[in-house]
Chains A and B, each alone.
Chain A
Amino acid sequence: MAELIAKTPCEGLLPLTVGGVSLTEENPGVMTVVAPFRGREAALAQAMRAAHGVAFPAPNRSAVRAGARAIWFGRGQALLVGPEPDPSLAEHAALTDQSDAWALVRIEGERVEDVLARLVPVDLRVRLFKRGHTARTLIGHMAGSVTRVGPRAFQLIVFRSMAATLVHEVRTAMEAIAARGVLEG
């Protein structure tokens, strides 16, 4: 019997390390866009907290609890990453499976902010954009999501179909930063 074989969005493209900055693909498991219906925001937040331990995140914020992450994902939307969404959520929100829709990568390294400054038109200074802060913005020409996951680490999300472009854009920026490093050091 034939079998369908799964491929990840960045298969064959990553990992990649240039100048001390690394780019790796994350395998997040289930991803669901959770979008509350009219007037159901509070009920949804409660249901999410009860079922997954994370509340519906405020705009530009994300939360992590025991394997479940909730990333604010746009006007009235959160991306629930990790678990299958609990059926109780469906009463309050539209749930849309996005497990295959996005390429998720982690970028990490000493000069990660310099790399992202080439691609992201948003102020990522750590004083203002702390761990857990997230933004829907542009990554190069691509609409995407940027979340700080550590002092020197970010998670980037773009359309699955644009994975190759994401890697190309980030690699170009990483190479330029690395070349400057040699220059200044």
Chain B
Amino acid sequence: MRVAGKGLLAGARPVTFSFDGVRYRGLEGDTLASALLANGVRLVGRSFKYHRPRGVLTAGSEEPNALLTIGRGAGQEPNVRATVQEIYDGLEARSQNRWPSLGFDLLSVNDLAAPFLGAGFYYKTFMWPKSFWEKVYEPLIRRSAGLGALSREANPDRYEKAFAFCDVLVIGGGPAGLMAALAAGRAGADVILADEDARMGGRALAESWEIGGRSAHLWVDDVLAELAAMENVRLMPRTCVVGAYDQGTYGALERVGQHLPRSGSARPVECFWRIVARRAVLAAGALERPVAFRNNDRPGIMMAGAVRAYLNRWGVAPGRRVAVFGNNDDAHRTARDLVAAGVHVAGLIDSRHDAPRARDFRVWRGAVVCDSAGRKGLENITIRTARGKEKLQADCLAMSGGWNPSVHLACHMNGRPVWRRDIAAFVPLPGAVPGLEAVGAANGAFSTAACLREGAEAGARAAEALGFGAAVPDLPEAEDDPCRIAPLWSVPGRGRAWLDFQNDVTVKDVKQAAAENFRSVEHMKRYTTQGMATDQGKNSNVAALAVLADATGRSIPETGTTTFRPPYSPVSIAALGAGAQGKGFAPERFSTSHAASVEHGAPMIEAGLWYRPSYFPKPGETHWRQSCDREVRMVREAVGVCDVSTLGKIDLQGPDVGAFLDFVYTNTFSTLKVGRVRYGLMLREDGFVMDDGTCARLGENRWLMTTTTAAAGEVMRHLEWVHQALRPDLDLRFVSVTEQWAQFAVAGPKARELLNGLLDAPLAQADWPFMACGAVSVLGVRGRLFRISFSGEQGYEIAVPARFGDSLFRELVARAEALGGGPYGMEALNVLRIEKGFITHAEIHGRTTAYDIGMQGMVSEKKDCIGKTLSQRAGLMDPDRERLVGLKPVGAVKQITAGAHLFNRGEAPVRVNDQGYVTSVGFSPTLGHMIGLAFLRRGPERIGEVVRLVDHLRGIDTECEVVNPVFYDPEGGRMRG
């Protein structure tokens, strides 16, 4: 309920929201948690394993209990922390992990079965019978696992990612962080101040103390105003820095639109930032830790600091009759603040015998809370003193076991935190993250004055280290109370005392783990699941390891912590993958003929990043095979046009190009005459084939290499490697010109006729023999012509600057159609090349050698080249290897499929009998049957033999004859004609 006159929301606009279908009112500036507490709602969820009723525990992002589902339909988001989610008009929140309702949850029977569900239950129970695992146990576990559920629909919301750079990154906007930002900002450094809260100020908003002689929040306002006015300071509220990475890179998640209705606009819900900072100040504060006692997880039992935050910041009293339980002086603040606000304090139970006394409320010294009771919410607690037990009525218990500095980011690069006995807490190891300094509560400095001082000094130090003339700002006056604490991790006694609220791990579970010899903290964690929920055990890990230390007779530092890994706070996959859905997944590369191909009705298929036409359907064609067969015949009988611009093209210039090509290709290029083209094969250094293609000599010192579409990037990288690292002595330069030229294959008996209509000077047969190249003028445009063929027909490739590509393609297609031809797509291109036995990356797939594809003769004896030495290893020249052959069907089933395996006739089609496999197949309209390329053991020696072909996946079992891989025009007369 709201407390009149308390909090910082005075005059705020009312907001209406709903929880489990009930409408409530809150104020702008409320979190869902503060608004629910203001409305007296205590029960907000059910626990993960035992389905125990749970309420709000904290007031921050560490919240383990109050996880809700926000929104409906495709955009619904599960496991949203009510302590982080700001309310807005129309916000719809629902509780999770309950059925049929939050109040009456059938799976709460698990709680009654608790004696059987302790640590290791799953490991011990679901062992036998083995056959039960897949059908019974796994579905059962899956159904009961997890808290919220996904919508299972595509997420309609937008997310984004972004980069930011600064001199000093300040993580956390509490008193320490504000002073650090102020010091660095005044010095002139570029500062980013990131705070996970919507409103900066940290504990200064949650406490009743003063800074500089007035309310702390007023001091915060002034500092923020000064920072906002500095051009070199960037304030990033709602931004949680979640990870510290190498070389000053930090990951941060910004809630951009999560506090607003999903409007369907372009506004992102979240932004994942990669912030690069030369220095960082970790001012992330500290998290209060609970005390484990029997039934300490009842709704109404909260962290003491959270109770103060709800009271002082949001003006909400989480109970009418509040008890406080602690082991430190800080807990006493809670009682004092409540009394001052007019809330009844039932009493304060302090485990220390020397605890301070108080006038306004009763203090039980040297006492502990050992149990709680109440249906769906706290009604009373049991206090144990030296004299015995007594019950105390309370609807809220504020507990404090001390504070754990938020050391997480300082440990993300493997640095382990250091135990400080005086404050009973771990603090960061200085220097564990290069360039990062922890200050304030994150560094174990718990008084406000110490926070201000450490922040100011670290901010100035960071700026100064970067060359900015910095001064430590004047420090405002603030409380400087010592931290007085006596460790209390768990209250001895019977029953279950909770450590990890989110994963339902109790003191008993940790002790059991120790008893079963899971003594390492990492083993205990995995055996009990302590700290493995989405909150990563932020408020429970230290207590759990303290219990483990006790159970194993070691000290806390000896026991050590588990490994801290990013992210500090949950990050949605949507934010990490932002922008990568749909068209954002990868760049799309469109060749210049794309629009014309689409106009022709061609289905476009992906070839790497490129889009290429599959086939060009004509009216009346209902199946792709009809189009493909027609296009193949068209090329064989008339003329076809195909865009080949996607092949990699590299312009090489300089006196040493010839020598360079001799070194990267297996065959010799330095002897190639100007105006001629040669086919070349490239190996990797391990002797396997990397790529193939043609290389044209355009001038004395100028060459044009082509690569396959698939390997263009890899070849460029390889050439740079060879030149820069292995042969820097060679004087040449090379540049990719793939994008500069639109290039089209024109193939078929009528190819020359077609081109002569376009070229400003007709082609003289004698000047343009097979494998010639040179400059031409195409309708007044300077172009290039290459007499090369991938189809086996008389073929040319004509290139013009890309701006003319669209126009030339349309012109070529129109003229081809007039000659009885037309465009052809990838399907026909594939059939044409298989008919000729030409290879693609289906054959040179990374495990084949020049020997395997019958090109060992292309590895020149006269010179060294990349891959030559290892290609001649005995194992790679073994005649028993699988080598390239052609296949034609002779069995009852006239089918060949790519991926099918080959076996000897009469042998079982099992692995040990494997003789090879099929790489490429197509129906040859020229030959009237299926044809295939395959790799077969001792293949070239077995021409004429019939082998068994089995495709286990497609259920095909037939026979094929092994044939020469060149099915069509093996002499090449058509190509040269």
- B732, B738, B807: the one contacting A5 at CB < 8 Å is B807
> Is A50 among interface residues, defined by CB-CB distance under 8 A?
no
| A6 contacts chain B at the CB level, 8 A cutoff | yes
Decide if A5 touches B804 in the complex (CB within 8 Å).
Answer: yes
What secondary structure prevails in chain B residues at the interface with A? Answer: mixed
Q: Which residue of B lies closest to A97 (CB)?
A: B740
A4 CB → nearest B CB, Å: 4
Q: Is the CB of B739 within 8 A of A164?
A: no
Q: Are A101 and B802 in contact (CB under 8 A)?
A: yes
Task: Name B276's contact: one of A118, A123, A127, A162 (CB within 8 Å).
Answer: A123
Q: Which residues of B contact A159 (CB under 8 A)?
A: 589, 739
Given B163, B734, B739, which contacts A121 in the complex, CB threshold below 8 Å? B163
A40-88, CB < 8 A from B = 76-77
- Smallest CB–CB gap between B21 and chain A, Å? 29
In the complex, what distance in Å separates the CA atom of A149 from the CA atom of B572? 37
Question: Per-residue 0/1 for A93-111: is the Cβ within 8 Å of any B Cβ (1 yes, 0 no)?
Answer: 1111111111000000000
- B124 shortest CB reach to chain A, Å: 49
B808 at the interface (CB under 8 A from A): yes
Chain A binder among B40-48, B173-181, B426-434, B775-783: B775-783
Contact A178 B266 (CB under 8 A): yes
* Distance to closest chain B CB from A49 (angstroms): 20
Q: If the complex has contacts A38-B731, A180-B267, are A102 and B739 also in contact, measured as CB distance less than 8 A?
A: yes
Q: Tell me the smallest distance from the CB of B331 to a CB of chain A, in Å.
A: 40
The CA of A15 and the CA of B591, in the complex, are separated in Å by: 21
B740 touches A165 (CB 8 A): no
Whether B591 contacts A118 by the Cβ 8 Å rule is no
Determine if A101 and B779 form an interchain contact, defined as CB atoms under 8 angstroms apart: no
Of B579, B591, B737, B807, which contacts A6 at CB under 8 A? Answer: B807
Say which residue of B583, B735, B781, B802 sits within 8 Å of A160 (CB atoms): B802
Residue A120 interfacial (CB < 8 Å)? yes
* B190 contact from A125, A161, A175, Cβ within 8 A: A125
**Which residues of A from 94 to 145 have beta carbons under 8 Å from B?**
94-102, 117-118, 120-123, 125, 127, 140-142
- Cβ–Cβ < 8 Å partners of B164 in chain A: 117
Residues of B with C-beta under 8 A to A182:
267
CB of A169 within 8 A of CB of B802, answer no
**Looking at the complex, which one of B160, B163, B586, B802 makes contact with A141 (CB distance below 8 Å)?**
B586
What are the residues of chain A within 8 A of B163 when measuring CB–CB?
A: 117-118, 120-122
Q: Are A33 and B267 in contact (CB under 8 A)?
A: no
On whether the beta carbons of B731 and A123 are closer than 8 Å, the reply is no
Point out which of A8, A141, A169 has the most chain B C-beta atoms below 10 A from its C-beta.
A141
Query: Are B584 and A168 in contact (CB-based, < 8 A)?
Result: yes
CA distance A84 to B260 in the complex (A): 55
The answer to whether B588 and A164 touch across the interface, beta carbons within 8 angstroms, is yes
A169 touches B584 (CB 8 A): yes
Q: Given A4-B811, A142-B587, do A94 and B778 touch, yes or no (CB 8 Å)? A: no
B159, closest chain A residue (CB): A176
Task: Find B740's partner among A2, A5, A101, A120 (CB 8 Å cutoff).
Answer: A101
**Chain A residues near B587 (CB, 8 Å)?**
140-142, 162, 165
Nearest chain A residue, comparing its CB with the CB of B805: A7
- Known A4-B808, A125-B190: A96·B801 in contact at CB below 8 Å: no
Report Cα–Cα, A183/B162, bound state, in Å.
18
Instruction: Let me know if A35 is at the binding interface, CB within 8 A.
Output: yes
Complex Cα spacing A159 to B712, Å: 14
Complex-state Cα separation, A96 to B702, whole angstroms: 10
Whether the pair B266, A100 counts as a contact (CB closer than 8 A) is no
Bound together, the chains give a CA A142 to CA B713 distance in angstroms of 13
Query: Complex Cα distance A183/B655, Å?
Result: 61
When each residue 589-619 of chain B gets 1 if its CB lies under 8 Å from chain A and 0 otherwise, what string results?
A: 1111000000000000000001000000000
| B209 located at the interface, meaning its Cβ lies under 8 Å from any Cβ of chain A in the complex | no
Interchain CB contact under 8 A, A179 and B802? no
Q: Name the residue on B nearest A39 (C-beta).
A: B731
Q: Which residue of chain A is the closest to B801 with respect to CB atoms?
A: A100
Measured CA separation A163–B594 after assembly (Å): 13
Given contacts A97-B740, A118-B161, A161-B591, contact A37 B610 (CB under 8 A): no
Kindly provide the distance from the CB of B653 to the nearest chain A CB, expressed in whole angstroms.
4
Residues of B within 8 A of A97 (CB): 737, 740, 801
Given A101-B738, A179-B267, A180-B256, 7 more A-B residue pairs with CB atoms under 8 Å apart are A3-B779, A4-B800, A37-B654, A123-B165, A123-B276, A161-B610, A175-B266
User: Can you list 18 residue pairs at the A/B interface with Cβ under 8 Å?
Assistant: A2-B779, A4-B800, A7-B592, A7-B806, A9-B802, A37-B733, A98-B735, A99-B803, A100-B802, A101-B738, A101-B802, A118-B162, A121-B274, A169-B584, A176-B268, A178-B266, A180-B256, A183-B260
> Which 9 interchain pairs have the tightest Cβ spacing?
A175-B266, A179-B267, A94-B653, A100-B802, A94-B733, A101-B739, A35-B733, A161-B589, A123-B165
